[in-house]
A = this chain, B = another copy of it.
């Protein structure tokens, strides 16, 4: 049988990985797929570098549209990134009747609805395993492996850069800014790390998983996004004392009122496996009503782990492209005519529990005032830790840290209580509030 012909748009780190792994494991992949899969054309602005990567047997062009226009090409792999030209090219490839594979979470999180609708109209596949958690087959597990389940919640470490930074902060007791510089030096963080450290990258991935889990459109714009830039080393230490570790989690949950979709730092019990996922690794917990809690762990980025996911998509498309579109796995797991309009909740409507750190004056009555405000708001306290003033501020200090873990309450209520506490004259600095998830 004739090989499936693949055209790459962009051959940087991931593209190079896809080319190398396809070549190195050619025989193994053919033995599995029953059909050869070959990169026969590459578009990259830097044609000389691209040609050096792929050798002389592959056609290299500067113009991506030449790949899309080539009638021999069965699948177009978009590895350019971003929302601009990538979006245009993906749409053009679909219009040209090409199947598309992409690792571009930003693109799908923002323009997914338009892209998947176009693909559905044209009867082509748009596959994106590489867009979430790198080499971990989490999209496949959600869309196919857990298809019997009502998914109840997902919570994942889906950004390696921030997990590396948090691991280093805890290991070495260092502050965020120091570790970020180290991470940049080691190549774990980019020169402009904004998308990672502000939680945007994780929110792109969470929005995709949310859509697939609950059969709703991709709604990155509705996600609550909070990064790790405000995290202090002392909160990591206090959390540890209380039996928790702080992770940046992407969370999506189905509740009676609607769907939660949020990315923020989070206390997680240290006894949960996910609390022990260290360095740049990723892990995604998925809770389904039949299967219970499952977890998927592996490298979330890097040339070959991402290539592993891209090639898995190429094989899937190779297998499915002769089947009638009605019987294929739907892009967003649910049939396009069976999508739900369950709303994504505003953050104020989310129910979770909290870690609070208050710097307070070390004097009588402070604790009574603070706990009084929480009691009045109906927020109950799970655990408390008061540090001796001397330990916190040195001998003779008149300040102390008050750490409170609460039970579940609705965020709006907590916000109101926080404003009241913050207004107390005995509360001497902005209150730190970090959400907490038991993931039981």
Contact = CB atoms under 8 A, between A and B. Distances in A.
Nearest to A272: B276
A309 B144 CA distance: 10
A2 interface: no
A135 B146 CA distance: 8
A405 to B, nearest CB: 23
A298 B295 contact: yes
B327 A322 contact: yes
Nearest to A336: B34
Contact of A315 (B22, B30, B147, B334): B147
Copies of this protein in the assembly total 2
Contacts of A319: 323, 327-329
A34 B323 CA distance: 15
Contacts of A330: 32, 34
A140 interface: yes
Given A32-B330, A289-B25, A290-B135, A144 B140 contact: yes
A327 B320 contact: yes
A32 B294 contact: no
Interface residues of A, number: 69
Contact of A322 (B129, B150, B305, B324): B324
Q: Most chain-B Cβ atoms within 10 A of its Cβ — which of A22, A297, A324? A: A297
Interface in A311-329: 311-312, 315-316, 318-324, 326-329
B299 A292 contact: yes
Contacts of A288: 135, 308
Interface in A218-261: none
B326 A294 contact: no
Nearest to A335: B34
A141 interface: yes
